Amino acid sequence: MCGLVKCIGVLCAVSLVLLFMGAVWVYRGGGRFEAVAPARLMAGEGPSLSAGQRLKVMSWNVQYFAGKNYVFYYDLPGYSGPDTRPSPRDIEATLAEAARVVDDEAPDILLLQEVDDGAARTDGEDQAERLESLLKTRYPFKAEAFYWKARYVPHPKIMGAVGMKLVIFSRYRITASTRIALPRAGGNFFTERLNLQRCLLTAELPVAGGGRLALINLHLEAFPVTPDLLARQLGAVDQAMRVFERQGAPVIAGGDFNLLPPGQYDTLAEDQRTLFNPAGEMTPLFARYTVIPGPSDTDPGGPAPHYTHFPNDPGIQGPDRTLDYLVCSRQFVMESTGVRSRDTLHISDHLPVVATLTVPEL
């Protein structure tokens, strides 16, 4: 009997040691990011911008090129969606379709959100490199920053590696790029390493004759667990824009803000309003900057005049809200703006926002 008790004790001790070692391994594999740090920048040969030239900018949350054939676990309340990953065939088809749209628009600057790299759900592929290989449009400059990275997340819907980043492609020279951490909701020391660590990705483009233009790529919190989190993150975006402007650099901030424009809250179905503030946190940005899309931004032949989000919720049959924007310093003169919806509804749960503008004299 004593031998049995001793054996059980040894097994329990070994199990506890293995459990502890596994927890340490998971924790040490979580993302570790500085508050402000240089971002990864790949620079080739290309021209500088010139004052007075046209510049076409496109921002798109590509939803890790999953397509629209899924209702992911996070798409429904209580993480009750049935799907955990897209099929390799759907990823391949969606990458090809996204490349088609990018080549057709041929933007000078391309801001992408939700690009996977090293994630189990997309078979570890660097999706930025994969997309680049499919494009006919050449982008000699690329900046990127991870905002979710861990070698193993022990969540029942994940159970594997995660890796997701912001990416900026540019035809024009980028001389500096920075990752700036955004405010977080907090949590225990363990989960903070494994959860998303949202950030701003900035890039600085020199203008011939002196001066520079600044870009900010972003993806703000989708599921805020504290009521002021999105307001704090949006404040960080505004602060970063003001810093660049004080330094004489006009700014274009683009991405998935996960916030409604003024006046849109009441147009949503009641069961879709829970994540949003009726007052609308975007109002100060609309007052200070030029924000695209606005109510007049349409896509001829497209079903969604200025909506940018088509939820994967099976109860929603089309785009029903605006969450994605290009927020620009007032110095820019807008030539054309809009949301491309006519042939993109099957590619992602977000639609591309596009603007052609004039680089100001600096």
315-326 pLDDT, tens digit per residue, is 999 999 999 999
Measured at the CA of 235, the angle between CA 231 and CA 238, to 5 degrees, comes to: 140
Query: Which one, of 343, 316, 337, lies nearest residue 325 by Cα?
Result: 337
What's the pLDDT at 227? Answer: 84
* Beta strands at 212-219 and 251-256: parallel, antiparallel or unpaired: parallel
8 Å CB contact between 172 and 128: no
Mean pLDDT to the nearest integer, 338-358: 97
Alpha-carbon span 225 to 159, nearest angstrom: 23
What is the Cα Rg of the chain in Å?
22
Alpha-carbon span 166 to 176, nearest angstrom: 15
Mean pLDDT to the nearest integer, 23-44: 75
Distance from the first to the final alpha carbon of the chain? 86
Q: Is residue 12 part of a domain?
A: no
Question: Element (H or E) spanning 164, and its range?
Answer: strand 160-170
pLDDT at 6 over 90: no
Structure tokens at 108: 């000078």
The band of 159, judged by pLDDT with boundaries at 50, 70 and 90, is very high
pLDDT at 165 over 90: yes
239-251 burial, b at 16+ Cβ within 10 Å, e below that, comes to ebbeebbeeebbb
Burial class (CB in 10 A: 0-12, 13-18, 19+), 315: exposed
Q: Is residue 278 part of a domain?
A: yes
pLDDT at 8 over 60: no
* Phi, psi at 341, each rounded to 5°: -120, -15
What's the pLDDT at 305? Answer: 74
pLDDT at 15 over 50: no
Find the domain containing 36 and state its range. Answer: 31-358
Q: Is residue 22 part of a domain?
A: no
What's the pLDDT at 20? Answer: 41
Burial class (CB in 10 A: 0-12, 13-18, 19+), 351: buried
Q: Is residue 270 part of a domain?
A: yes
Query: Given the structure tokens 């003001």, which residue do they identify?
Result: 242
The band of 192, judged by pLDDT with boundaries at 50, 70 and 90, is confident
What's the pLDDT at 251? Answer: 99
What's the number of domains the chain is made of?
Answer: 1
What's the pLDDT at 26? Answer: 42
pLDDT at 1 over 60: no
Q: Is residue 5 part of a domain?
A: no
Q: Is residue 14 part of a domain?
A: no
For 88-97, write each residue's pLDDT tens digit.
Answer: 999 999 999 9
pTM of model > 0.85: yes
Alpha-carbon span 248 to 251, nearest angstrom: 10
Query: Which one, of 247, 236, 243, 253, lies nearest residue 212 by Cα?
Result: 247
What's the pLDDT at 280? Answer: 85
Mean pLDDT to the nearest integer, 240-268: 96
- For residue 78, give the DSSP letter: G
Mean pLDDT to the nearest integer, 141-161: 96
The band of 299, judged by pLDDT with boundaries at 50, 70 and 90, is low
For the four alpha carbons of 342, 98, 325 and 349, in that order, the dihedral sign comes to positive
Alpha-carbon span 243 to 152, nearest angstrom: 37
What's the pLDDT at 31? Answer: 61
Q: Is residue 104 part of a domain?
A: yes
The band of 115, judged by pLDDT with boundaries at 50, 70 and 90, is very high
For the four alpha carbons of 187, 190, 196 and 199, in that order, the dihedral sign comes to positive
For the four alpha carbons of 239, 291, 287 and 205, in that order, the dihedral sign comes to positive
What's the pLDDT at 21? Answer: 42
Alpha-carbon span 32 to 194, nearest angstrom: 9
What's the pLDDT at 194? Answer: 87
The domain that holds 306 is classified in CATH as 3.60.10.10
